Structure 1
Amino acid sequence: MENYWFLDEQAQSLGYNYFKSDQRVLVRVNVPCKYLGPLVLKAFSNHPKFWDVITLEDDPRVPQLLWDEYENLDWKNILSGQVIANSYCVRKGLSRKAQLSMFLSKYIRKHPNCALSKAVPPTIVVDLWDAFDSSLAELGISFRNRLESCLWEVKLLFEDKSKQAKYIMKPSASNKGAEVNVFDTYEKFKGIISEWTDIREWVVQSYVERPLLLKKRKFHVRVYVVAVSSLQVYVYQNVLLLTSLDPYNPSDTDNKLSHITNTFQQQDHPNFVEADCVLLLEDMESILSNDRNIPLSEAKSIISKMMKDIGVITGEVFDAYKGEFSVFQPLPNCFEVYGVDFLIDEDFQVWLLEVNPGPDFKQTGKRLQPVIQTLVNGMVSIVTDTFFSKPAASYPSFERMNDGILHSMAEADSALVRMNECLETVLKECLIEGTGTESDFVAKTKNAMDTATELSKQLAACLEAEKHKRGHDKVKLKLLQKGFINSMKQLQEAQRIYARRHEAVIEYDLIKTACISTDDLKKAKEERDMALEIAEDAVQVNKAVVAVGKLVQEQTATITQIK
């Protein structure tokens, strides 16, 4: 456990055991929002034989579950695994737009063919801390020069005067569409930066130039995602479509009401009509049919594919934070709902915009409040089953994502079988006589090798988690551990054979395509081996020098002491 968590209290929470009892379970509900609060209470009332709800602050009973604002939660008991809570403690990697961009970029570099690689607009993180650093001012560096040094990446975007492009800028830590601006000149960007001097970090993204329009308005898709324990991800299928207030005008970047689709920014405008700006997914079918003359059957297929893409992208977003515990810690005794925003372009490609912990549900409005009630009902059912019973195979209106986590020994058994099958595939291809092209070899083996490696990580995590559960089957766990150890030995052998075979295939490709002769290849390998020997000798020499230096220091100290 010490390999995964940074605080002792968090390590203790990994040992959290699901509460199983015939007694009723206490939940303390304190939701200040008048829109959401009654919905939460009603959702718990749907389980009258299971839950007792505490709403009074002076109630002496100790709850097993807390549903409260983030700032009010009892984090000491949550981190020690004593109580379940409706929020993760550390999730700034998702909520801060700059960190979201950095960690998704890191994931994309590792998985260049993932869905996220085509779903995240090109992004620049603008860090202004140096511009306002007083120590640099003391060195005689002017504010103007300090600011320019922070903005150089954005300035480069406008060096080619022949290209006309728009960008959207957002403060890294803001929400509800605050201070979001569209700009098409460096001067406008710099002016906005200079106006908001209290904001130290921005993200600048390429503007999606051809957004799909509904009734001539730009819109974004709001998807609610429920993350449970560490980590199951459920995507709520009743999504919202939030439109701009004014018709879309790409040439007028100063009219925010034409470009910004956040309802919070529109609600006080005299022209705001909730029914026009807050729509449901099913509304999209008829609008596509009317606006673009698309048959209803085709519109349904488009929406179905869009939801599938959204599910895959969402799964990869959470997958990107595996092991990134400094910015996202999915504690096993916590759960949380996120508002994830997407944009759709005219080619029906899905673009990820941002992830919002603690979304503002009241922006949904009264007309569609039943949609949020269904969401909260589903959350309570998922939480009830996950922490106090057994998760169901499915939940109405929710789609469970492939979270890459093995939740039971039965799932681990199946994963071990798949891992061994993948290793057999790799070894079979590696041991075939003859040499094909590198592309053929990679096509036949890489996916199986990557899958086996990923399954080994999932199995290791599952075995660690099962070991800390009370009442686990020790015999089954021991057999599973034994099988896993044997498979890991096979994986190591397969990796060694795979590397040698891959090298041989590359050499054959080079010789066959006359890129290099056999003699030159042999000579290059000899030079490489010689360089490795020299490097190894250098390491040994360096160790000897360090040892001699240490001995000299000791002898010098001894002589000094004698004197």
Structure 2
Amino acid sequence: MKVLITNDDGPLNDIFSPYIRPFIQYLKKCHPEWEITVCVPDTQKSWIGKAHLAGRKLSAQFLYSDVNANDNSYRGPYNLPQYSCTDSLLPRESTKPLPKDTIEWVLINGTPASCANIGLYKLCLKKFDLLISGPNVGKNTSAAYITSSGTVGAALESVICSDTKAIAISWAYYNGVQVVDSAVMEIASARSIEVLQYLLSNWDQNYDLYSINIPLTHELNFDTKVKYAPIWENRWTCMYEGPIYNIGKTQDIQDGSKSEAITFNWSPNFDLHENSRHSIKDSEYDMHLIDRKLICVTPIRAVFHSFDKTSEYFDKEIIIPRDDIVLNKKVNGNKQLLSVVSIPKTEYIYNPLLNALKRYLPNVDFQSELSKESIKSTSKIFHYGDYEQLDMARLLSEPNNYYANSYIYRKALIRKHYLADTIKNYIVKHPESILVQSFLESFILDLDYAEFLDDSLDENWELRQELENIESKKWWIVKPSMSDKGQGIRVFKTIEDLQSIFDSFDDEPDENVDENDNENKIIISQLRHFIVQEYLKNPLLLPSMNNKKFHIRCYITCKSDLQVFVYDRMLALFAPTPFKKLDEESYTATNHQDLECHLTNTCLQEGNGKELSVMEFNNLKDISTETKKKYIDQIHEIAHDLFLAAATVNRINFQPLPNAFETYGVDLLVDSDYNVKILEVNAYPDFKQTGDELKGLIDQLFDNTVKFCVLPFFNKSFNVLPDAKSSFTKVLDHTSNSW
């Protein structure tokens, strides 16, 4: 199939022509075998109908863009084509063939109809099978719009001048919001192409072209109805304002001369009125369907006469037999697609997850548990559940049919002593890595009971030397490697402090001790592994937050083996009390109250202050936008090296799977010198610490996760990457060796 694409909005542009790039990208992905030529006006030419600029000489320029680009960037313009083409009628600058992943844009300084005519007759040797005009920015419904439309005008030119089939596509936006997120445009592209394919296979020879209108809204999905619709015959009122008397003034005239003039300013009144032929109650016309956010298809003769209520098409719904281009519930015979969400409905993340799944997977069945019956009747299963609920055997044995929200082996990151070992081994091989400066000096202790501390320090003589150095100004923090929610974390300076900490852990709970302090205890013999890390004495403090210490919680999602995405909407989690500098005279290592200002774990906080303990990082007042960006850039670099380290130097304990993804809560500190430091990596992070005020942050996280990580499992044609405007940033794309 040889296809010519034009429009009336011009070439790549974030404001005037934001739709054509994602549409062409999706079309090329679905139909790589189609030969596509793009010829568009060099600037926006809306409201121009099927017009030519009579007597005007037209010229061409050429742009080049990458098929996989996530923005509207391009190279050019050039006066001559930069690559050769065996099918071209144009002189070429080079004999070098057009790269496979490059789009050539022919820009004509004329109207859409002129682009259609020149494209059909002057660009290629072979005849075109189809002209696609659009996607237009805005709707083309009702007589007032469709007769003015340059998009429809180019389609009319195609059938009038060359009898080439033509389809005009328009994406209707709402409430003045023209530019929507990439997910909506992907679905609009998919629906446009499936309707286009249906029409090509079911072309009615009584009509010359079709006009398709797609509602560009978050409500658009694969169940949105597609209906034939005749043109609503409404009428314009006055389109201009004036007259304006320019007495004594000079007015620019098109040919460059100056003259006094009476002028009329372009000021269309969009309050259209109906034709008496139709009642406004007739709600199955094109304008009414698109207002109800349905997809409408209008067959048109090139005499501006559409069908009416007596036609077989009136109020007829189009039922499209789906193929592999769009998501289909039925695959591999009668087997279904299934999504299993086995976490309790009361979980904080249940609704954000379910809403995202239903948005992107509307034709997939949902269940709350994975049963033997469902496994037998399904072709592909996505399972989101707690680690213990996942079918690990199936995760390993059925990579094409079972997809889950967790890897099996990831101790290299989520166990603190493994994490320290992973980073240490990586920076030995990569001394230039940002991990050298972003991970504080750390040591691993291995002991079963408090009385074995001395033996453990003998085995870790470097740590003993540090602690016995009376000249040292360093303070240290000890953390159980396998605990969470801040349990067992203590700050200390000497061996005597550390011994008293372990002694207190082994004690039975004391009724006279604060309840929170008992909850913060651990039993050494149940954990065994501890990490001792240099304590950051100079955390960044913010006056607007009463100089409380805080850490950053960043959600990082790994997909398959191995893409890594950083979610750029991060949290700032604050300690309950203002920070106090550590002082050997006044600080007691086992005193819970002395520890309060140093711990930023929200799970340890009670009362009204908890609402103020979590904020969105980008909303912090004392840090400039430029500085925040520097922090986020550091975090991107840290995430790249951290997950690359786990995937390369500790492959036994971190094994990404092609049919899994996982979201980690990565905690980081910022010091007063604006350096970011890694604290820890948490699997199954406690999302509910975000609270009700910032729930939208979690909603968007799961929306991105389903879009970029889950949807491609069911439909590979949706395997797209986040664009520059997305809050998901891809920081690593690594393929592991398959021994």
Q: TM-score, normalised by structure 2?
A: 0.47
1:209: which partner in 2? 537
Q: Identify which of 446, 467, 475 aligns with 1:158.
A: 467
2:654: which partner in 1? 328
Q: Is residue 394 of structure 1 aligned with residue 706 of structure 2?
A: no
Q: Is residue 365 of structure 1 aligned with residue 691 of structure 2?
A: yes
Give a deviation string over 1:35-84, Cα, whole Å, max 9, x none. 11122111112125343211256683235111110011111111102411
Matches within 5 A, 1:538-557: none
After TM superposition, give the deviation of residue 151 of structure 1 in Å.
6.1
- Cα distance in structure 2, aligned partners of 1:280 and 1:192: 34
Q: Which has the higher contact order (CA 8 A, sep 6+)?
A: 1
Q: Is the Cα contact below 8 Å between 1:154 and 1:186 reproduced in 2?
A: no
Cα gap change, 1:143 to 1:257, in 2 (>3 Å)? closer
- Give the counterpart letter for 1:258 in structure 2: C
Q: Secondary structure at the match of 1:287?
A: coil
Q: Secondary structure at the match of 2:653?
A: coil
Q: Is the Cα contact below 8 Å between 2:570 and 2:618 reproduced in 1?
A: no
Q: Secondary structure at the match of 1:272?
A: helix
Q: Is the Cα contact below 8 Å between 1:166 and 1:182 reproduced in 2?
A: yes
Cα gap change, 1:148 to 1:166, in 2 (>3 Å)? closer
2:616: which partner in 1? 280
Q: Is residue 263 of structure 1 aligned with residue 580 of structure 2?
A: no
Q: Identify which of 666, 673, 676 aligns with 1:347.
A: 673
- Cα distance in structure 2, aligned partners of 1:49 and 1:271: 40
1:116: which partner in 2? 435
- Give the counterpart letter for 1:337 in structure 2: T
After TM superposition, give the deviation of residue 148 of structure 1 in Å.
5.1
1:403: which partner in 2? 733
- Give the counterpart letter for 1:232 in structure 2: Q
Q: TM-score, normalised by structure 1?
A: 0.62
Matches within 5 A, 1:163-174: 163-174=472-483
Which stretch of the first structure deviates more once superposed, 144-153 or 353-362? 144-153
1:31: which partner in 2? 343
After TM superposition, give the deviation of residue 162 of structure 1 in Å.
2.6
How many residues are matched? 368
- Give the counterpart letter for 1:101 in structure 2: A
Give a deviation string over 1:257-300, Cα, whole Å, max 9, x none. 2001011111xx235331x210112222x233xxxxxxxxxx11
After TM superposition, give the deviation of residue 393 of structure 1 in Å.
3.2
- Give the counterpart letter for 1:107 in structure 2: Y
- Greater Cα radius of gyration, structure 1 or 2: 2
- Cα distance in structure 2, aligned partners of 1:154 and 1:325: 27
- Give the counterpart letter for 2:666 in structure 1: V
Q: Identify which of 565, 577, 586 aligns with 1:234.
A: 565
Q: Is residue 179 of structure 1 aligned with residue 488 of structure 2?
A: yes
More strand by share: 2
Q: Secondary structure at the match of 2:533?
A: strand
More helix by share: 1
- Cα distance in structure 2, aligned partners of 1:22 and 1:319: 36
Q: Secondary structure at the match of 1:322?
A: helix
After TM superposition, give the deviation of residue 22 of structure 1 in Å.
3.0
Percent identity of equivalent pairs: 32
Q: Is the Cα contact below 8 Å between 1:212 and 1:345 reproduced in 2?
A: yes
Q: Is the Cα contact below 8 Å between 1:244 and 1:262 reproduced in 2?
A: yes
- Cα distance in structure 2, aligned partners of 1:356 and 1:232: 18
After TM superposition, give the deviation of residue 329 of structure 1 in Å.
0.6
- Cα distance in structure 2, aligned partners of 1:143 and 1:54: 50
Q: Secondary structure at the match of 1:158?
A: helix
Q: Secondary structure at the match of 2:647?
A: coil
1:494: which partner in 2? none
1:40: which partner in 2? 353
Q: Is residue 76 of structure 1 aligned with residue 406 of structure 2?
A: no
Matches within 5 A, 1:400-439: 400-405=730-735
Cα gap change, 1:404 to 1:61, in 2 (>3 Å)? closer
Which stretch of the first structure deviates more once superposed, 95-104 or 146-155? 146-155
2:628: which partner in 1? 303
- Cα distance in structure 2, aligned partners of 1:106 and 1:182: 26
Q: Secondary structure at the match of 2:732?
A: coil
Q: Is the Cα contact below 8 Å between 1:319 and 1:403 reproduced in 2?
A: no
- Cα distance in structure 2, aligned partners of 1:229 and 1:20: 22
- Cα distance in structure 1, aligned partners of 2:687 and 2:394: 27
Q: Is residue 53 of structure 1 aligned with residue 388 of structure 2?
A: no
Q: Identify which of 322, 328, 339 aligns with 1:22.
A: 328
Q: Secondary structure at the match of 1:401?
A: strand
- Cα distance in structure 2, aligned partners of 1:52 and 1:98: 41
- Cα distance in structure 1, aligned partners of 2:567 and 2:382: 22
- Cα distance in structure 2, aligned partners of 1:91 and 1:80: 18
Q: Secondary structure at the match of 1:307?
A: helix
Give a deviation string over 1:424-483, Cα, whole Å, max 9, x none. xxxxxxxxxxxxxxxxxxxxxxxxxxxxxxxxxx7xx5xx79xxxxxxxxxxxxxxxxxx
- Cα distance in structure 2, aligned partners of 1:227 and 1:212: 29
Cα gap change, 1:401 to 1:107, in 2 (>3 Å)? same
